[in-house]
Amino acid sequence: MIKNLLFDLGGVIMDLDRDRCVRAFEELGMTDADDFLGVYGQKGDFLALERGDITPQEFRDRLKPHFRPGVTDEMIDQAFCRFLIGIPRHRLEALRQLRGKYGIYLLSNTNAIMWNSMIAEQFRQEGLEMKDYFDGIVASFEAHCYKPDAEIFEYTARHCDILPEETLFLDDSESNCEAARRCGYQAVHVAPGTEFINLIPEK
């Protein structure tokens, strides 16, 4: 029996556009932005930021040599957040409706720069805060682990006090879904153009 829904953020709740971020970094002078930024996962300094291994300021300082002279911290943050398009309001409404039927949880590979700016702002569209939509939240930069590693799925079960076998995980990456299944979760892949509300069993 499914008692809990565990949502990925990007590509499931929030729409993304990686190419916008690549172009924004290129406009700041980065010549290898396409190689720096992954589609479903990051590497190098980006991965270190999303795992919480470095601070946002350390991240900015490491990236500055890749940009033209004069690029500020604010310009870096703004370009980075171009990765995010936003959350359609109907998905926020769906989360509220589902919360009356299931435990609702969030598990996201993300970073403090986006988390404390545009992500937080997008969840305020209805006058609420992010925490008002979920019974528990796990962000990779706070957990110091990262999907698809088993460690973050085990951490989520402990942190949120949920049983994997009673939890349906929804993610836009099939490799993340497979990793969740290996850890005992039920999982469904949210393909591009699919709304998560249509993948949740009736209850």
**What pLDDT digit, counting tens, does each position of 45-87 carry?**
888 999 999 999 999 999 999 999 999 999 999 999 999 999 9
With bands split at pLDDT 50, 70 and 90, how would you rate the model's confidence at 33? confident
d(CA 109, CA 176): 11
d(CA 11, CA 83): 11
Short-list 150, 143, 131, 157, CA closest to 4: 157
User: What residues does CATH 3.40.50.1000 cover in the chain?
Assistant: 4-15+86-199
Q: Which one from 8, 45, 171, 172 is the annotated catalytic residue?
A: 8
User: What residues does CATH 1.10.150.240 cover in the chain?
Assistant: 16-83
Specify the pTM. Answer: 0.94
Short-list 49, 46, 48, CA closest to 22: 46
CA angle, 88 then 93 then 94, to 5°: 95
Cβ atoms 107, 148 nearer than 8 A: no
For residue 20, pLDDT over 80 is answered with yes
Average pLDDT, the chain: 94
Name beta bridge partners: 97.
none
- DSSP letter for 52, please: T
Q: Confirm whether 8 is a catalytic residue.
A: yes
pLDDT at position 32 is 84
CATH topology classification for 4-15+86-199: Rossmann fold (3.40.50)
Query: In this structure, which amino acid lies at residue 147?
Result: K
For residue 40, pLDDT over 70 is answered with no
Name beta bridge partners: 138.
107
Domain 16-83, what architecture?
A: Orthogonal Bundle (1.10)
Name beta bridge partners: 140.
none
**Stretch (H or E) spanning 170:** strand 167-171
Mean pLDDT of 24-48: 80
Mean pLDDT of 97-115: 96
For residue 41, pLDDT over 60 is answered with no
With bands split at pLDDT 50, 70 and 90, how would you rate the model's confidence at 38? low
d(CA 185, CA 198): 19
